């Protein structure tokens, strides 16, 4: 399977932050931002794999700057790394005051997807070729991020096994 350049997976999403998108502070709901992140990252991953993908993990999403009601929010995504059936995607979220032009990076995130067939079975994906300095930087750090994800996933499995389905207040 031939490798693909990272730029082939680039995806962009922009939206205006309207009243239903905002909380009582007049800022965009964090959950709405996270949904946008998952949406644009899935588009980028599917564009790379050219097959269905499912979200396997989302690394921490730290909100660095709020997105205000009436601002625009622009998300950019690109595949940074692949491994057998998994695809790592980097997403950057930028808010823009449409009246002044002031822009702020609100958050960045890494998400991992798994390419699947019609039965939901993992499928091999092409390697990604980083071309720009930023793409090479993101690609170089990917193995360490993948190892950290494996550790978090192992901990999640241990917690799920230990606590099971019984409500916490009953344990």
DSSP secondary structure string for all residues of 30-42? HHHHHHHHHHHHH
The answer, yes or no, to whether residue 149 has pLDDT greater than 90, is: yes
Domain ranges of the chain: 4-159
Q: Which strand (E) or helix (H) includes residue 166? A: none
The answer, yes or no, to whether residue 87 has pLDDT greater than 90, is: yes
* Residue 52, pLDDT score: 98
The answer, yes or no, to whether residue 98 has pLDDT greater than 90, is: yes
Percent of the chain with pLDDT over 90: 93
* Residues 126/2, Cβ–Cβ less than 8 Å: yes
Query: Can you tell me the mean pLDDT for 150-159?
Result: 93
The answer, yes or no, to whether residue 168 has pLDDT greater than 90, is: no
25-63 pLDDT, tens digit each:
999 999 999 999 999 999 999 999 999 999 999 998 999
Determine how many CB atoms are found less than 10 A away from the CB of residue 5: 15
How far is it, in rounded angstroms, from Cα 62 to Cα 108?
Answer: 7
Name the CA dihedral angle for 1, 11, 139, 72, rounded to a multiple of 10 degrees.
-170
Structure pTM?
0.93
How far is it, in rounded angstroms, from Cα 53 to Cα 85?
Answer: 10
User: Which of the four CATH numbers 3.10.129.10, 3.40.50.300, 3.30.420.480, 2.60.40.1120 does domain 4-159 have?
Assistant: 3.10.129.10
The answer, yes or no, to whether residue 128 has pLDDT greater than 90, is: yes
- Closest to 14 measured CA to CA, from 63, 76, 64, 58: 76
Average pLDDT, the chain: 96
Q: How big is the chain by its Cα radius of gyration, in Å?
A: 18
């Amino acid at each position: 399977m031939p490798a693909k350049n990272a730029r082939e997976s680039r995806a962009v999403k922009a939206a205006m932050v309207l009243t239903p998108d905002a909380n009582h502070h007049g800022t965009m709901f964090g959950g709405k931002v996270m949904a946008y992140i998952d949406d644009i990252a899935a588009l980028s991953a599917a564009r790379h794999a050219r097959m269905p993908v499912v979200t396997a993990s989302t690394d921490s999403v730290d909100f660095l700057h709020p997105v205000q009601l009436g601002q625009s929010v622009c998300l950019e995504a690109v595949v940074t790394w692949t491994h057998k059936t998994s695809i790592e995607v980097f997403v950057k979220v930028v808010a823009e005051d449409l009246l002044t032009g002031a822009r702020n990076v609100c958050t960045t995130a890494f998400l991992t997807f798994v390419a699947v067939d019609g039965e939901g079975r993992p499928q091999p994906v092409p390697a990604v070729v980083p071309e720009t300095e930023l793409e090479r930087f993101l690609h170089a750090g990917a193995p360490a991020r993948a190892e950290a994800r494996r550790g978090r996933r192992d901990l999640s499995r241990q917690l799920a096994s230990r606590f099971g389905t019984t409500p916490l207040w009953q344990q």
